[in-house]
Structure 1
């Protein structure tokens, strides 16, 4: 596999012990419509820079895993029609075939950690799919987070997934879960679900302290910070519940199973909410990036010395 290419501004920031936040590229290539996707990508990077944090959007460009995209590469990810969607297992194939691809939560987490980045902002995690007990169908995000020392700020996972089963899997896999100023696990489109979180944090310094103590204990798993979308920006509850019920019924009528279910549910959600779910999606990511900026700044202060940006054995692994 080709070596990791780390943008100069990202490497300089890491070497100086300054805050850096990783951003995924699947949202840009596959999660938002054009040209809104390019606008949002630029907005998120600007939001971080305005807070003194270096953004590191991650993708594979012509076969090279790249941490920190130049404007041309960011435009290519946003505008090209043949951008592959890459999870961890796809990375060596994309590298060998010189493909350009957008990285999922799993692939972004892996590449960010290899570059020495400890904080990653995304929208929502992948998780256990509905019917998981029968199919064992779950996202690679879960097992990757179990073995990757990174802190992921997210708004839970979409309600089309099995939230309860996902939380059980995170516990089994040893992934630390924190509620950001909440005792309720967020539901991506909605600020809360029926599921509680065991641990609540109130500020970025507490998250940084958890990260530091995880390193001291030698843990190699992720810390997930569940950050609810503000109530004023969440999807209308009645609309959410109606569309979800209709989408699940539609999938059942069509006899959809396994991997065919999730794309159908997402397509139905986006269509039947007349764009409202898209606006909530953008609000989710914007909110998570803001929280991530504070956590990355606190982590840079916690790590202290220049060049210290992550767990032992991670910093400097980009070569």
Structure 2
């Protein structure tokens, strides 16, 4: 789309694709050209496989795939879809191969490429798109979504590097229509041959003519086929998610007692916090309509929850955290688990009597938050009793992160337990109202890290002083914000090791009980090794090319920093890790986009921090 490879499109982008002039059909060979020239178009199965694989998506659904064209043994006209299946580990769910192609030679070619080909459902015959059987046996037969998911899981686990093609037959109630369409295809095939139509022009010509002959029935059947494939494909993807999550849980259990050379248990970071589904409404116009009337805009659904976002970001950066949370046994909970298949969600509590937390927010045309509503009742079920089941994991963790969504008594329990076991605790305040939860008792003195924005820091300071005296105003300059933050942070540094103050577009201010270049605190060995030295460093934000939403930026900043801290990176590397992750979040409508990865963090930008007096 305008020279960018987009994985998933919004409604407006789909509309643009149908209306743009001269769209290209992009296969592997065309992607680099399309990007370099700023072109717009749709991807073939081959092109989609490349994009989906790079985005970490293991399964995708299409209508049909390309193949060996009739006479291909002479013309060498073979679709790039087939070679792509031989070198990209994706599972492609389709209605088989259209009869306009040479089906037996296509199956032979796939065998040569090492592609696993399976028929789905009651029949072992490979489907031919509009008809349930091509007359040719598939090499493999999977009868249900679970069987297909297990096949895909083994293919991924073995790292064979090749793909899987699963053929789903046309639904029985469409079989009769499909046969009529098949007869029309035979007629049009002869027409194309007589007119000398060849290569990539054959398929569009045949589809258009068949649609004319069948008076639109072929288009209706096409749509029904894709819907059926999507239904089957989503069930396979869900089963694959369950399988891979269970494997992650088994690996965690198996290595729970792993030790390092010095005899200490080797643990994973632990994140405890909220999980929710986010409904994000973005207003297009700069003028907002209040009361009667509707604001034109777009609505996006994504995953959220501060704890979930932090754990997601850490996972994408290779930190592999154990995540403790609660969701409902409902469709939103199923979606959350399915879209979090790259994370270890095996310890999340799934509850029958509660609905999955939902957060709805409205953003202005600049991506800034206007108002938000949250149904977070289920967070009350992240109880000390639930968390205490994982005391062994907590005890061996290099660091524990908690968010403000969890109950106050759970915060107190975690702080007390970690203090007794010399484990650093990071508190993510979540919002102004929840920022003071640890400060309702002395448990805040057991925190090692806290990451408020300026308003949350003021709220904490006011709560500790017992009166609202902090004169913060939005119009403050950056220097005024930093001066105030340093003053307020010094009161917290009597007990807390590090205060990370987020400054929005102005970056981050880090105040801590250590020299500016000293590594951040991690593990139990240095927890009490604080010094009389203090430092305050301002780290400017990484420049973002565009701004879509700021709602996940703070969570990704924390997740990126934590990922760097647990791998014991330098202070500068930890901060860059967080700021680059925050930038990726700002540029996406997803709170934690797949663009956050160890790969995107490998090339660090030119960047300068500034040390301040404290």
Q: Give the TM-score of the pair, scaled to structure 1.
A: 0.74
In the alignment, is the contact (CA less than 8 A) between 1:110 and 1:148 conserved in 2? yes
Secondary structure of 2:54's aligned partner: helix
Q: Which residue of 1 aligns with 2:268?
A: none
Alignment partner for residue 199 of structure 1, among 130, 140, 143? 140
Secondary structure of 1:282's aligned partner: helix
Which runs of 5 or more structure 2 residues have no equivalent in the other structure? 249-311, 316-340, 344-595, 601-614
- Does 1:210 pair with 2:146? no
Q: In 2, Cα distance between the equivalents of 1:317 and 1:278? A: 43
- Residue 100 to residue 172, structure 1, CA distance change in 2 (3 Å): same
Q: In 1, Cα distance between the equivalents of 2:32 and 2:15? A: 23
- Does 1:156 pair with 2:100? no
Q: Which residue of 2 aligns with 1:73?
A: 13
Q: Which residue of 1 aligns with 2:195?
A: 254
Q: Which residue of 2 aligns with 1:139?
A: 79
Q: Which residue of 2 aligns with 1:29?
A: none
Secondary structure of 1:156's aligned partner: coil
Q: In 2, Cα distance between the equivalents of 1:226 and 1:298? A: 17
- Residue 231 to residue 81, structure 1, CA distance change in 2 (3 Å): farther
In the alignment, is the contact (CA less than 8 A) between 1:142 and 1:170 conserved in 2? yes
How far does residue 235 in structure 1 lie from its aligned partner after superposition?
Answer: 5.2
What are the residue-to-residue correspondences of 1:77-92 with 2, within 5 Å? Answer: 77-92=17-32
How far does residue 285 in structure 1 lie from its aligned partner after superposition?
Answer: 0.4
What are the residue-to-residue correspondences of 1:218-297 with 2, within 5 Å? Answer: 218-234=159-175, 236=177, 239-297=180-238
- Does 1:187 pair with 2:128? yes
Deviations 1:42-79 (A, max 9, x none): xxxxxxxxxxxxxxxxxxx2111111223322221233
Deviations 1:12-42 (A, max 9, x none): xxxxxxxxxxxxxxxxxxxxxxxxxxxxxxx
How far does residue 120 in structure 1 lie from its aligned partner after superposition?
Answer: 0.2
In the alignment, is the contact (CA less than 8 A) between 1:179 and 1:197 conserved in 2? yes
Q: Which residue of 2 aligns with 1:117?
A: 57
How far does residue 259 in structure 1 lie from its aligned partner after superposition?
Answer: 4.4
Rg: which structure is higher? 2
Greater RCO (CA < 8 Å, at least 6 residues apart): 1
Q: Give the TM-score of the pair, scaled to structure 2.
A: 0.40
Secondary structure of 2:6's aligned partner: strand
Q: In 1, Cα distance between the equivalents of 2:597 and 2:114? A: 26
Which runs of 5 or more structure 1 residues have no equivalent in the other structure? 1-60
Q: Alignment length, in residue pairs?
A: 255
Secondary structure of 1:65's aligned partner: coil
Q: In 2, Cα distance between the equivalents of 1:140 and 1:184? A: 24
